[in-house]
Amino acid sequence: MLLYPNAKINIGLNITEKLKSGYHNIESCFCPISLFDIIEIKESNSSELIETGIPFKCKEEDNLILKVLNNLPQSKNYKIHLHKNIPIGSGLGGGSSDSAILLKYLNAKNESKLSKKNLYSIANRIGSDCPFFIDNKIKYVTGTGNILDKINIDMNNKYIIIYCPNEKISTAEAYNTIKPEKGNYNLKEVLENENLENWDKYVKNDFEPFAMKKIKGLKKIKNNFIDRGAKFVSLSGSGSSIFGIFDRIESTEYFTGMKNIYFTEMIN
């Protein structure tokens, strides 16, 4: 069986509060996009995880795929082959998507299926972005990433270009630079009521100033996107990727063949 976990981008990311637990409350809009990892899963005599594609180092206790297997006991063993296409440490949610899509698949295979509520609960234990990928639809996201509400945004016929620099940003390091505070605008209202080209008047990613200082050339890429006709440009997640939303495919052709550039669209 082949599974295709997809990436996401954040349109706006406000860090509104730090909790006693150490987690943070956020306000954001998560949007699924057409950039995919690949998971091949087969029943086997013994459990095995193989990882190929973009290389990454991860402690066993931090591996989200293994967390799924540990949180959802199985009566069968599986050989799992994960091929990474979604850049690591880029704010695109690849690891969260891998684990959530696998969780949904294994739950569907179980004789005693978990309710959607329990599935969300397990996803939330695995990672704060994981609940989003259970439904995998555009959402207005609050809480620690666990409160998901509908949001009406028309992203049809829009083209998204992502630049992922080689240098990555530690999520912990990024959060240490943030002073949480509630924004002076309602993200959901802005995205639903303002035209795309007006979003940048209001919509911000709190991590972007740090990312621009941390990664050389990121500001230049942002300006390049704007100069080539992007209607909205922003950092995704805590970085390090930056994306531009274009309404004309001709505007994106300039970036064809450039290093670290990904061409995607929104998926529903």
Residues 131 and 6 occupy one common structural domain: yes
Residues 82 and 38 occupy one common structural domain: yes
**Domain containing residue 50:** 2-150
Residues 132 and 169 occupy one common structural domain: no
Q: Tell me, yes or no, if 231 is annotated catalytic.
A: no
- The predicted model scores a pTM of 0.95
**Residue 256 pLDDT:** 96
Residues 124 and 200 occupy one common structural domain: no
CA distance 181 to 189: 18
**Residue 184 pLDDT:** 85
Q: Tell me, yes or no, if 8 is annotated catalytic.
A: yes
The list of the chain residues with pLDDT below 50 reads none
**Residue 32 pLDDT:** 98
**Residue 59 pLDDT:** 86
Give the CATH number, domain containing residue 44. Answer: 3.30.230.10
C-beta atoms surrounding 226 within 10 Å: 14
**Residue 171 pLDDT:** 87
**Residue 4 pLDDT:** 99
CA distance 34 to 8: 8
How does strand 242-246 pair with strand 261-264?
unpaired
Catalytic residue (choose from 37, 67, 98, 129) = 129
The number of distinct structural domains making up the chain is: 2
**Residue 188 pLDDT:** 98
CA distance 84 to 36: 8
Give the CATH number, domain containing residue 227. Answer: 3.30.70.890
**Residue 60 pLDDT:** 85
Residues 141 and 168 occupy one common structural domain: no
In the listed set 124, 150, 176, which residue is the last one of a domain according to the structure?
A: 150
Q: Is 23 left (phi over 0), alpha (psi -120 to 50) or beta?
A: beta
